[in-house]
Structure 1
Amino acid sequence: MFNAYLFAGVAMLFWAIAPIFGKLGLNGIQPLAALTIRSLVISAILLIAVTAAGQWGSVTSVTTKNAVYIALEGICAALLGQLAYYYALKFGEVGRVSPIVAAFPLVALLFAILFLGEKLTLYKVVAALLIVAGIALLKY
């Protein structure tokens, strides 16, 4: 379990600094161009990493069903979500945009209940209310 918390903490730190780079990088360029640059750089790094790790077998052995789900997740998050996020960063304040975007677990919770049959628990309700309260505070 320690590794899960360690990785979550590392992810939090990278996601915390990413909007700063994004806001600075969007100065004078369109979000679509920025997303294209970001995606090309990440794609090159991933191609090198999967080759260096010798994991092409893992990539090519994925089932069609799993590949479709992963592709849809990428289209939703890495393309459409990221593009909307870049537009939000370009025209808004990082301190207001980031918390709203980071509230996606609220919507994911609803979708998980509706589409995956996950159970709604008291803790999930409290967490959802805290997210809503946090977003409401951004008004001030």
Structure 2
Amino acid sequence: MPAWFAWALMSAVFAAFTAIFAKVGLAGIDPDMATLVRVVIITGVLAVFVAVTGKWGNPAMFTPRNWIFLTLSALATGASWVCYFRALQIGDASKVAPVDKFSLVLVAVFAVLFLGERPAPREWLGIALVAAGVMVLSLRR
């Protein structure tokens, strides 16, 4: 198993717990305030992690390109979290999470458009199956 796959699988497990814990934690509170609390906690945990592992570096060494794209990524993450928490508060976690994972399909399309990546036909099949699965899981009966 490649190292990237193990990390990606762990990411999926933690993302699943994120949905469950957030759904329970959002009961009776504003989702935007909940998102802020989450960000503060994450910031503290990551600061400790980076310091303890000796990875603390000088951000002044980042290039302008690093700053621009990390800022854009942070803004996209924040917008995603705000939307996700609102969706979780009003919808079923078992329906919200699969729609959120439609990002997998969008990442593939954006990677082709902006990064020049070229998924193989077998990979496109998997991406199409994910898209179909999102539709099946999100449709109401």
Same fold (TM over 0.5): yes
Matched, 1:22 2:15: no
State the shift of 1:120 in Å: 4.6
Taking the aligned partners of 1:46 and 1:5, their CA distance within structure 2 comes to: 22
Structure 1's 10 and 37: CA in aligned 2 closer, same or farther, altered over 3 A? same
Instruction: Tell me what 1:45 maps to.
Output: 45
How large is the Cα RMSD of the aligned pairs?
A: 1.7
Instruction: Tell me what 1:119 maps to.
Output: 118
| Equivalent position amino acid for 2:85 in 1 | Y
Segments of structure 2 that go 5 or more residues without pairing to the other structure are: none
Matched positions, count: 139
Taking the aligned partners of 2:109 and 2:5, their CA distance within structure 1 comes to: 24
TM-score, structure 2 normalization:
0.88
Segments of structure 1 that go 5 or more residues without pairing to the other structure are: none
State the shift of 1:4 in Å: 2.3
Taking the aligned partners of 2:4 and 2:56, their CA distance within structure 1 comes to: 25
My pick for the range that moved more, 97-106 or 2-11, is 2-11
Instruction: Tell me what 1:11 maps to.
Output: 11
Matched, 1:33 2:15: no
TM-score, structure 1 normalization:
0.89
| Equivalent position amino acid for 2:37 in 1 | I
Q: Percent identity?
A: 29
After superposition, the C-alpha distances for 1:41-72 in whole angstroms (9 at most, x for unaligned) are 11111222222223222644322211221121
State the shift of 1:133 in Å: 1.4
